[in-house]
Amino acid sequence: MNDYSRRALVADIGGTNFRLAITDIDRLTIEHFALLSTGDFTRPQDAIERYLKTVPFRPEMVALALAGPVDNDTARLTNRPWEFTKADIQAVTGAETVLLINDFEALALAVPTLTDYDLHEVKRGKLAKGHNRMVVGPGTGLGLSGLLWQNGEWLPIASEGGHMSFGARDAAELELVEAMDLKPGVVTAERLLSGAGLAALYNALAGGKTEPRDQFSAARITKAAIARQDPVAVRALDQFVIWLARFASDMALAFGARGGIYIGGGIAPNIIPALESPAFARAFSENHEVAGFFEDIPVWVIKDGADAELKGAALALARLAPSTAPVTLKA
């Protein structure tokens, strides 16, 4: 006989991908995994409804991690006009417990559970136990969160830092950002450090001569750059990686994240050689104002197959409904 009381439906709703699974919230197993395209649905409820028809039972707990802010019982996707409430999800799932969480807050919760198998080290450092950590991730948008070690517990810091304003370091950089022809208003980190940002950067470096941007452009550019098939793509990715390194080091200072940087999101796993380059490490460590702060901080990429957002959503549920045998985490 199976005990389904600790099983939950978990989902990770990004601007591009919609991942769903059934998990045991104590063991963090991933079963009945499904990968859907967010763009195929007009409401998250429709994707969840379709998925639930493919699994043999109805879980009583649901946790949705999503790329956008969560305020009380309402969630809003940043890069899609979706807004929904706990009650909306309860109506479609019949679940008693529904939890909504920002996807990078979920990632932060999952970080202490990730193993060497889930991570790829792109900049060496020394593991500093009991120090804060940070998660950053360019994808459809730019996600960010902190992880605070306090009183023997890891606490996630939900952040809107992807929307921070971006400033140029010198005239060449200022000219490049202006050539990117971004939408009006304050230039934010996300406008540069996202799939659309990489496409705009490529277009600017190509002299504005590329095809109309579509949602697959970033994937094409990273592929061509890593294969060294297109010199403009190589230049675009080089600049992208420098901006990402700078943003990561600035936010490491903000969160006091000596304990490590974790790069999640859709783009990082596809550009690992560029993140392992000396240019990334140099841009990450170039700020010498705080002696020795950066040298020892390790930087990892969270592999796509780690399903870290789904595990994080499960962990958030486990915190709500503690088991008699909870997962123990190391400092």
Please, are residues 247 and 169 in contact by the beta-carbon 8 Å criterion? no
- Of 3 and 170, nearer to its own copies (C-beta) is 170
Return the range that interacts with its own copies (CB under 8 A); candidates 14-22, 109-117, 244-252, 274-282. 244-252
- Which of 73, 74, 97, 163: binder of its own copies (CB under 8 A)? 163
- Distance between CA 135 and CA 112 in Å, rounded? 12
**Long-range pairs for 91-95: beta carbons < 8 A, 24 or more residues apart:** 91/45, 92/45, 92/48, 92/49, 93/9, 93/48, 93/52, 93/58, 93/59, 93/62, 94/58, 95/9, 95/58, 95/59, 95/60, 95/61, 95/62
- Shortest Å, Cβ 206 to its own copies: 24
- Distance between CA 13 and CA 33 in Å, rounded? 14
Give bridge partners of residue 9 from the DSSP assignment. Answer: 22, 62
Site for its own copies contains 329 (CB under 8 A): no
Which amino acid is it at 93? T
Site for its own copies contains 320 (CB under 8 A): no
Site for its own copies contains 125 (CB under 8 A): no
User: At 103, which helix (H) or strand (E)?
Assistant: helix 103-110
With a CB cutoff of 8 Å and minimum separation 6, the contacts of 55 are 9, 22, 32
Site for its own copies contains 83 (CB under 8 A): no
Site for its own copies contains 331 (CB under 8 A): no
- Of 255 and 262, nearer to its own copies (C-beta) is 255
Site for its own copies contains 206 (CB under 8 A): no
- Which of 158, 219, 279, 329: binder of its own copies (CB under 8 A)? 158
- Of 46 and 181, nearer to its own copies (C-beta) is 181
Return the range that interacts with its own copies (CB under 8 A); candidates 10-18, 93-101, 148-156, 272-280. 148-156
Q: List residues near its own copies by CB under 8 A.
A: 69, 132, 144, 146, 148, 150, 155, 157-161, 163-171, 173-174, 185-188, 190, 246, 249-251, 253-256, 286-290, 293
